[in-house]
Amino acid sequence: MRKQAFLLGLFSIGGQVFLLRELVATFHGDELFIGTALFGWLVAVAIGAVLAGRLKYPIDLRLLFALGAVLLPMMIIAVRLIPFWATDIVGEVIPFTQASMISILAMLPIGIISGMIFTFVSDKGGRAAESIAIVYLFEGLGAFIGGLAVTFATGGPVSSLVAAAMLGVLISASVYLENSIRRQVIVGVAMVAAAVLIIAAFPALERRIDRAVYEPYNIIESFDSHYGRHAILERGAEKVFLTNQVIEAIYPDVETNENLLVPVWIYNPDIKLVLYIGRAEFGIAELAVGMGLQLTTIDPRSELNERLSRWFSSPASTNHIDEDPVKYFSSYGIDRLYDLIIIDASELDSYLDSRYFTEEFLTSAGRWLNEDGILYIPTAYDSDRHLNADKRRALSVIHNTLKQVYPKVGYWPGGRTLFFASLRHDFDLPTDSIMARVERLALSPQYIHPNYLIDRLEQMKMERLRAAVGEYDEINSLTRPMLPHIQAMMNSRLDSFDRRLIGFVLGQSWWILFLPFMILIVFAVCLVRLGKGERYSLFLYFVAGLVSLSLELICFYLYQSTAGSLYSEMAVLIGVFMLGLSLGTYYALKVGDRPVEFPALVMLVTTVMIFIFSYESVVGDVLLLYYSLFLLVTALATGTLFVGATNRYYNVRIRANRGVGYGWELIGSSIGALLTTTVLLPVIGLHWLLWSLVILLAVTFAGAVITANS
């Protein structure tokens, strides 16, 4: 039983992480789909756990493990082919509702198998409460070991698809190993043969998948890194670099590069030291040399340097900083002041990108500017033509956030709306002076030239943009990141059903007021109508899942927002969380049948409150340690609470379905996965979200006290 539970942990963590990474990579690096995918996973596991408990005859565990091992790489392949099925245009956004449903459905097969295995393994033990707790313990240990292994494999010598297939082979072989030497030899030979076949055949399979997804482009190179999936494509003289299905750069692209440097030079021809947040290989470095500028670029993805240098180049005079901008600005001493800092904004549909447009980051960046320095933001929003309500709101939020930090803010309309911000520099230069300065430029721009600027800076367009940026009073911050929600609303215009659903969920926040009432109804039903005692333990399961998953997603969000990466660290954080569940379960088993739910709830409340008052002070190299410890303690309390609820329920209902309690915990987890960072974080903000969890835990503690002796 222990061995099978440990293998379940390996299988479960592998299924979650590999599929989560593929979904995030397929849907443009948008972490909103982590919540919807986890919702699908948890619902599937709950269905599998309860369904297995209702079956008259159990299914052979070896068959279930083998089926899961085959299905996992198949589901990864299916997820990678989604762009081929959904759109004919490389890099096109897939409607949110379609992407959400796909992310949920993609998790169902592996999740259902995982839940069924949990119940079947639990049935192998004797006393229900003890058996379930032991399976929970060893599943957590397996997930912790698996999380470390998956982290090591990410971006390494093999792709995620190959690593997932190898994991399936390892698990399948392990469940068939027996004491017989003959059986061990046969299984060992079969495992080696399967591994050789995977290593030999899967790279060719991946190339065929890429050719289908990226047609009509020729694929120069396609690879995984610790930051996602990348591809370098070619068509004619044009090269395209994609990260997580997003077109990150096109080369050559003279218009984009001129928009990155020329407009801000017009306002300050004396700029020399320039810091660009992004990659230099796609033309900006060459233009900077031609304008006599000293360019420094900052980007954390050092793994890309060698690969990109094979196909793109930047002048030797360009200085590269291989560090995350948020982490660098907050953790390192200021060794020089820049005349210009450029934040090149893509569509802000992810928390990873929108963090550059928070009050916290803009303040941090401003400390690296000289007194007359300029912060420059060329956005991806087109204000040259009609400005719909969502676009006006996005531009207004960016403008308002800049005004919180910089007293001087200017803007240009156009295919890319430009924002200029400074502590001292004015941006009220007349149009004729702007055009005169362009004519004095050392080089002749192809796109930023006087004839073009007459139309771009036409008075009606300027007035329309001025009205748009003043229409709303909201700002974007780390504790309330609004821009991804606004971008989701904007993208929903691509699909009529998308627009109706997203408009209701994200645009009508009144319905969120019903959430606490719904939870109170569940609390009251478990406390009163269904009887005290063992029935209240179902609410304890529910709260354990809801709170722990909510805190886990909050941890993911804050870690990525401050460290700049989640793709590779996700497995470590989930693995540490699973280790905490194991340790909490082990502790609770050691103390016997005592009511361990009380110290567990107190520990959760204390942990959340310490987190509320400490997370803003954590920077630099201790980020991963801090969030790992936070998840470890949270999970330690959750594992203890799980055992407390199990003792309450199964010591009374001895013959009950052994998947029911686990299913209730997963229902709570699924609600947390679907709502926490996908909906609630931008609507009510981080602090209200955390304090709401504290209140819920306090109410749960009160109910546990009331039902303690019943």
What's 237-303 look like in SS3?
CEEEEEECCEEEEEECCHHHHHHHHHHHHHHCCCCCEEEEECCCCCCHHHHHHHCCCEEEEECCCCH
Q: How many Cα atoms occupy the beta-carbon half-sphere of 517 within 13 Å?
A: 5
For 405-460, write each residue's pLDDT tens digit.
Answer: 999 999 999 989 999 999 988 888 888 888 888 888 777 888 888 888 888 889 89
pLDDT of residue 396: 96
Amino acid (one-letter) located at 193: A
Q: Is residue 605 within 8 Å of residue 694, measured between CB atoms? A: yes
Handedness of CA 44, 49, 55, 61 (dihedral sign): positive
Handedness of CA 291, 292, 294, 300 (dihedral sign): positive
Whole-angstrom distance, CA of residue 424 vs CA of residue 662: 60
Q: Is residue 571 within 8 Å of residue 147, measured between CB atoms? A: yes
CATH 3.40.50.150 applies to domain 251-493: yes
Strand-pairing partners, residue 219, are: 233
Whole-angstrom distance, CA of residue 322 vs CA of residue 209: 31
pLDDT mean for each 10 residues of the chain (710 residues): 81 84 79 80 86 79 86 91 79 77 89 88 67 77 79 69 84 72 73 82 87 88 84 90 87 89 90 92 89 91 87 85 86 82 83 88 92 93 86 94 95 93 89 84 81 88 92 91 85 73 69 76 68 70 91 91 77 84 82 82 95 87 89 92 80 58 82 86 91 93 80
For 71-100, write each residue's pLDDT tens digit.
Answer: 999 999 999 888 878 777 777 777 777 888
Burial class for 204, CB neighbours closer than 10 Å (0-12, 13-18, 19+): exposed
Q: Is residue 468 within 8 Å of residue 399, measured between CB atoms? A: no
Count the neighbouring beta carbons within 10 Å of the beta carbon of residue 256. 19
pLDDT of residue 24: 82
Kindly state the tokens that stand for 397.
């939020």
Q: Give the alpha-carbon dihedral of 665, 668, 671, 675, to 10 degrees.
A: -120
- Collapsed DSSP state (helix, strand, coil) of residue 523: helix
Strand-pairing partners, residue 686, are: none
Amino acid (one-letter) located at 35: G
Strand pairing category for 294-298 and 319-321: parallel
DSSP per-residue letters across 108-167 = HHHHHHHHHHHHHHHTTSSSHHHHHHHHHHHHHHHHHHHHHHHHHHTTSSS-HHHHHHHH
- Which strand (E) or helix (H) includes residue 102? helix 96-122
Q: Is residue 330 within 8 Å of residue 619, measured between CB atoms? A: yes
Q: Is residue 287 within 8 Å of residue 258, measured between CB atoms? A: yes
pLDDT of residue 522: 76
**DSSP label at 192?**
H
Whole-angstrom distance, CA of residue 222 vs CA of residue 209: 11
Kindly state the tokens that stand for 629.
């410890």
Amino acid (one-letter) located at 511: W
505 CB-near residues (< 8 Å, 6+ apart): 679
For 284-301, write each residue's pLDDT tens digit.
Answer: 998 898 888 999 999 988
Kindly state the tokens that stand for 337.
């002041």
Burial 591-601 (b: 16+ CB within 10 A, else e): eeeeebbbbbb
Burial class for 543, CB neighbours closer than 10 Å (0-12, 13-18, 19+): buried
Q: Phi and psi of 281, rounded to 5°?
A: -75, -5
Strand-pairing partners, residue 377, are: 419
- Which strand (E) or helix (H) includes residue 319? strand 319-321
Whole-angstrom distance, CA of residue 406 vs CA of residue 408: 6
